[in-house]
């Protein structure tokens, strides 16, 4: 049990947290309040007119099949990224954790993509796969005769986005999995081995349960990443194409607010996203965390 | 004695600086175009001592417009801001935020004739009764680029580009048959194949003079001729004669890398073509359907214009008015035109450039000017002026992709573009009513 300190002076503790509170207020509560306020108005971008419309910005979204389509594709996208980024990085971490030649070289290389910004990652994949200029696209078309045109083919577009976004997240997951694996006591694994447990059994019965805090943490982080931080990838690679089929929620918020200047709807969408983040976090920490053995 | 002189000089300079009015000019021009903005401002600043214009690069058109909006809301707006053509209706409707150019010129007793500007350019930025709201700056129009080497290889006459759409499609098929990956591609499906297509055929894109006469306008471009045009392109996409290259100007590499033989792009991209095409290319007018009465009419512009924000000190407006007059001079316009590939916005600048023999080496630029001034603009060809224009273009881009990928038929797709576009027009009308 950690020792608790008590301040004698009644004001000092408040003064000490004040800087943090000011920052949180200015950069979180104030914009959030603005967004909530704006979501009830129809307004011109220059602030000349503001018409109160109640919940109209919300109701329009909720009856809009395109918004639900965007919601579905965002969910599918986040789940696919989480699944692929986590399984691949776990596999790589296990391999890199073995006693092999050049282990530290592999580790360094695998961590490297983490230094690449998400937007740059998007652009790299764009230059590889764009049907007009991409190198791999050219090979796909001319050597393998694949009809590669993700601008008009949703499956190809979705696959490409998932690959690019997962690749960007691999390094992050890899670091955590590797650290998690290294903290698994070697004695336990050796004891199991002596008892005759095979490699698969050792992994599922000993290593995987001991990794669960890491896995849980990464699950949260990957879902949040997949939902809310993949904007630059979509922006660079598809811009929502074909049609609006890959226009994920965060991309739509930006597009409607910044380019289309539909501030009311954009504000309503960001409030909905905010609620989603809150619900997601509460749900994960209250219900899933309990089952995780630490 | 020497010290006194130095002191006097410094004092004079200080007084001079103090009396000089400085205004900010926010723009979105990069590379060569950005350098030219700086050059023009430098020349203006050097031409007199009272006024100074400072150009500030603010990012893309979208970034610049958003920066202007944020600055205006914070009471920190610059005097001059460059706004792209699709932002025109939003700027016009923001009556509290802007000072119309005709008013600016009148208030500052400037000698200024709005009729020096090329009619199609002037009309785009004027009210329907001819009062100019923003200053034409960088204007372009859509043209056809074609690969002369590919024409030769396919046994076609490189000096006779197709003039009508039926001819164009035949040539495209021949180009593909000659071994190219495809026949043609296009940029800007919304601006070139819809907005310019309608103007060029003198058919309405929307009611109320394409939105010039009021906010109670509706889109009507889903006419039989447009459906026929889109059906033709769609059919050719099935046989690979048409290759889709993406939205906005993303299809350019298809042409510059020699994969298609003909391409539609802004004349503003002329410099880029010259730099990137490793083959002999030509510029031709947009094709038309010969059975449409009145076609070809005139094409319409794209690009951006300069808007003046409200609420600045009077001295700044005098500076802006002087600056606008300065950039409208034939020699400045001609300089801008030759360095950037954007069109000269006045007739005099065109004449001047022509007299210098510039079009002998750059015939493509003259093709664009002639196409733009082909006939006196009609209500169908002055331009388009719709609220929420970025949304309308986005709808068109999205549904065009749905048409190409077979999710919706051509006719149903165009109908959907119109009905969804009209929804967003009604919202704009509701907001500004």
Q: What are the residue ranges of helices labelled H in B328-409? A: 330-340, 347-355, 358-361, 363-372, 389-404
Instruction: Look up tokens 């896995």; give the residue.
Output: A215
Which residue on chain A is closest to B389 by alpha carbon?
A: A260
> Which residues partner with B141 through β-bridges?
B301
Report the alpha-carbon distance of residue B246 to residue B264 in Å, rounded.
Answer: 13
Identify the DSSP state of A102.
T
Closest partner residue to B73 among A46, A133, A255, by Cβ? A46
Q: Interface pTM (ipTM) of the complex? A: 0.85
B63: nearest CA partner in chain A: A258
Q: For residue B121, what are the contacts with CB-CB under 8 A and spacing of at least 6?
A: B136, B139, B301, B343, B345, B372
Q: Judge contact between B409 and B403, C-beta under 8 A.
A: yes
Question: Could you tell me if residue A8 is inside a domain?
Answer: no
- Radius of gyration, alpha carbons of chain B: 23
**Residues B407, A45: C-beta atoms closer than 8 Å:** no
Q: What is the pLDDT of residues A121-175, one digit of tens each?
A: 999 999 999 998 899 999 998 899 888 999 999 999 999 999 999 999 999 999 9
Nearest CA in chain B to A246: B398
Within a domain: A97: yes
CB pairs under 8 A between A and B: 83
Considering CB atoms only, which of B245, B388, B431 is closest to A132? B245
User: Residue A159 falls within a domain, yes or no?
Assistant: yes
* Helical (H) or strand (E) element with B421: helix B410-432
Rounded CA separation A249/A223 (Å): 14
- Determine, for residues A149 and B244 on separate chains, whether the beta-carbon distance falls below 8 Å: yes
Question: Would you say B254 and A132 are in contact if contact means Cβ atoms under 8 Å apart?
Answer: yes
Domains defined along chain B, listed by start: 2-139+301-372 (3.40.190.10), 141-300+378-432 (3.40.190.10)
Provide the pLDDT for residue B15.
47
Contact at CB, A260 and B254, closer than 8 angstroms: no
Residue B105 CA to residue A162 CA, distance in Å, equals 55
Q: How confident is the model at residue B4 (pLDDT cuts 50, 70, 90)?
A: low
- Identify whether A69 is part of a domain: yes
Q: How far apart are CA A32 and CA A277, in angstroms?
A: 13
Q: Is residue A46 part of a domain?
A: no
Largest CA distance in chain A: 77
Which residues of chain A make contact with B93, given a CB cutoff of 8 A? 44
**H or E segment at A111?**
helix A103-111
CB spacing of B431 vs A43 below 8 angstroms: yes
We report the CATH number of the domain holding residue A210 as 1.10.3720.10
Closest residue in chain A to residue B98, using alpha carbons only: A46
Residue A156 belongs to what domain range?
53-291
Domain count for chain A: 1
Contact flag B391-A262 (C-beta cutoff 8 Å): yes
Q: How many CB atoms lie within 10 A of CB A76?
A: 14
Cβ-nearest to A151 among B94, B388, B401: B401
Q: Answer whether A155 touches B (CB < 8 Å).
A: no
Q: Please write the tens of the pLDDT for every residue from A184-213.
A: 998 998 999 899 888 889 999 889 999 988
A30 within domain boundaries: no
pLDDT tens string, chain A, 294 residues long: the values are: 456 677 677 888 889 999 999 999 999 999 999 999 999 998 888 887 888 999 999 999 999 999 999 999 999 999 999 999 999 999 999 999 888 888 888 888 889 888 899 999 999 999 999 998 899 999 998 899 888 999 999 999 999 999 999 999 999 999 999 999 999 998 998 999 899 888 889 999 889 999 988 998 899 889 989 999 999 999 999 999 899 999 999 999 999 998 888 899 999 999 999 998 888 888 777 776 666 655
Q: For A260, which of B246, B394, B402 is closest by C-beta distance?
A: B394
Q: Which residues contact A154 (CB under 8 A, 6 or more apart)?
A: A242, A245, A246, B405
Tokens, residue B280: 């002999």
Domain contains A15: no
Give the three-state DSSP class for B31: helix
Would you say residue A284 lies in a domain? yes
Among the partner residues A51, A242, A262, nearest to B401 by beta-carbon distance = A242
**A259 interface with B at CB cutoff 8 Å:** yes
Give backbone dihedrals phi and psi of A150, rounded to 5 degrees, phi first.
Answer: -70, -15
Question: Which pLDDT band holds residue B2 (cuts at 50, 70, 90)?
Answer: low
**Over 80: is that where the pLDDT of B9 sits?**
no
Q: Quickly tell me which residue has 């296990």 as its tokens.
A: A94
């Amino acid at each position: 049990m950690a020792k608790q300190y008590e301040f004698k002076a009644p004001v000092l503790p408040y003064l000490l947290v004040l800087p943090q509170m000011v920052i949180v207020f200015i950069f979180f509560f104030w914009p959030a309040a603005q967004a909530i306020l704006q979501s009830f108005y129809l307004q011109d971008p220059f602030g000349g007119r503001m018409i109160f419309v109640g919940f109209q910005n919300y109701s329009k979204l909720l009856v809009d099949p395109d918004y639900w389509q965007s919601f579905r594709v965002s969910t599918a996208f986040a789940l696919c990224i989480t699944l692929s980024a986590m399984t691949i990085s776990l596999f790589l971490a296990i391999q890199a954790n073995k006693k092999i030649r050049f282990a530290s070289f592999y580790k360094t290389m695998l961590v490297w993509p983490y230094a690449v910004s998400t937007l740059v990652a998007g652009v790299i994949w764009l230059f590889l796969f764009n049907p007009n200029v991409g190198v791999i696209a050219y090979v796909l078309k001319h050597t393998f005769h694949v009809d590669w045109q993700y601008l008009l083919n949703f499956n190809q577009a979705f696959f490409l986005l998932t690959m690019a976004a997962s690749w960007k997240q691999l390094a992050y997951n890899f670091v955590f999995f590797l650290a998690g694996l290294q903290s698994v006591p070697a004695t336990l694994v050796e004891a199991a081995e002596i008892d005759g447990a095979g490699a698969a059994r050792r992994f599922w019965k000993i290593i995987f349960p001991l990794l669960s805090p890491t896995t849980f943490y990464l699950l949260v982080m990957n879902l949040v990443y997949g939902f809310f931080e993949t904007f630059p990838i979509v922006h660079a690679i598809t811009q929502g194409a074909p049609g609006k089929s890959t226009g994920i929620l965060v991309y739509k918020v930006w597009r409607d607010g910044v380019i289309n200047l539909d501030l009311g709807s954009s504000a309503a969408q960001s409030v909905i996203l905010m609620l989603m983040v809150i619900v997601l976090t509460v749900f994960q920490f209250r219900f899933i965390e309990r089952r995780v053995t630490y | 004695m020497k010290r006194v002189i130095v002191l006097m000089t410094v004092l004079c300079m200080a007084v001079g600086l103090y009396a000089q009015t400085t205004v900010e000019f926010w723009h979105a021009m990069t590379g060569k175009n950005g350098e030219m903005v700086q050059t023009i401002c430098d020349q203006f600043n050097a031409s007199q001592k009272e006024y100074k214009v400072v150009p500030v690069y603010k990012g893309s058109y979208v970034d610049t417009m958003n920066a202007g909006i944020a600055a205006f809301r914070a009471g920190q707006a610059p005097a001059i801001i460059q706004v792209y053509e699709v932002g025109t209706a939003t700027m016009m409707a923001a009556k509290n935020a802007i000072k119309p150019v005709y008013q600016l010129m009148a208030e500052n007793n400037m000698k200024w004739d709005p009729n020096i500007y090329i009619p199609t350019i002037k009309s785009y930025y004027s009210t329907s009764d001819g009062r100019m709201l923003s200053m034409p700056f960088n204007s372009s129009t859509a043209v056809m680029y074609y690969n002369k080497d590919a024409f030769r290889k396919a046994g076609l006459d490189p000096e006779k580009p197709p003039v009508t759409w039926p001819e164009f499609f035949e040539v495209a098929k021949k180009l593909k048959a000659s071994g190219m990956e495809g026949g043609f591609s296009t940029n800007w499906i919304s601006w070139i194949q819809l907005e310019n297509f309608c103007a060029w055929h003198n058919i309405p894109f929307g009611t109320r003079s394409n939105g010039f006469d009021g906010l109670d306008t509706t889109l009507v471009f889903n006419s039989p001729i447009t459906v026929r045009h889109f059906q033709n392109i769609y059919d050719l996409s099935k046989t690979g004669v048409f290759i889709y290259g993406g939205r906005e100007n993303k299809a350019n590499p298809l042409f510059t890398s020699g994969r298609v033989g003909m391409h539609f792009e802004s004349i503003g991209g002329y410099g880029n073509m010259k730099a990137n095409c490793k083959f002999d290319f030509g510029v031709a007018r947009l094709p038309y359907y010969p059975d449409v009465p009145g076609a070809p009419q005139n094409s319409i512009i794209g690009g951006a214009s300069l808007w003046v924000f409200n609420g600045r000190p009077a001295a700044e407006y005098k500076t802006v008015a002087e600056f606008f007059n300065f950039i409208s001079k034939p020699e400045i316009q001609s300089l801008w035109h030759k360095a950037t590939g954007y069109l000269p916005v006045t007739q005099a600048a065109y004449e001047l450039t022509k007299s210098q023999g510039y079009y002998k080496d750059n015939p493509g630029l003259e093709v664009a000017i002639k196409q733009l001034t082909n006939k006196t603009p009609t209500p169908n060809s002055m331009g388009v002026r719709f609220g929420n224009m970025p949304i309308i273009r986005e709808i068109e881009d999205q549904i065009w992709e749905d048409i190409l990928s077979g999710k919706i038929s051509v006719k149903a797709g165009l109908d959907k573009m119109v009905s969804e576009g009209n929804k967003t027009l009604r919202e704009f009308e509701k907001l500004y009513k």
